[in-house]
Amino acid sequence: MSTGAAWALLTAADLREHVRPPGSAPADCDCARLVCPGWESVSSPVGEPLLERLGSLRAEGDDEPTLTEQHSEGSSYWSPNAPIATAFFPYNRCEVWLCRRCARGFLQYTEYGGYYVDQRLREIDPGRVV
């Protein structure tokens, strides 16, 4: 999955700058099949050739980023309206991917439960990034 590039630690400002708002993306793009306004479980990571890795929200060498979540408006982990709080769980361990064609952005990470490993995917709405 690694491109071999140097570790690129991204900030909330980077997401706002590089990611296209979902509502303005072309409906016929290949990435339109990725419908994930909130977190979705996917069978395997989504990557190239559809998406290109932009960087990571996990600080290099940080093996235990906080498990605390940040919410607003009564949102919960699975809510499509949950803020994308880059310093909080689970965003603080996500890789950031962009559609090569339309620059829609996606977050991905692996959830390690007691008896399962689950790959999670969520679309980035720059307006929800805090």
Should residue 121 be labelled a site residue for Zn ion when binding is judged by CB under 5 A?
Answer: no
CB closer to Zn ion out of 51 and 129? 51
Q: Choose among 115, 127, 114: nearest CA to 82.
A: 127
99: left (phi over 0), alpha (psi -120 to 50) or beta: beta
Q: Choose among 126, 128, 130: nearest CA to 16.
A: 126
Should residue 29 be labelled a site residue for Zn ion when binding is judged by CB under 5 A?
Answer: yes
- Stretches 10-18, 22-30, 72-80, 110-118: which one binds Zn ion (CB under 5 A)? 22-30
CB closer to Zn ion out of 58 and 122? 122
Cα(95)–Cα(92) distance, rounded to whole angstroms? 9
CB closer to Zn ion out of 50 and 87? 50
> Which of the residues 82 through 101 are near Zn ion (CB under 5 A)?
99, 101
Q: Where are the beta strands (DSSP E) in the chain?
A: 40-42, 51-56, 95-99, 105-112, 117-124
Candidate residues 98, 102, 107, 121; the one interacting with Zn ion per rule CB under 5 A: 102
What does the binding site for Zn ion look like in residue numbers (CB under 5 A)?
29, 31, 99, 101-102, 104
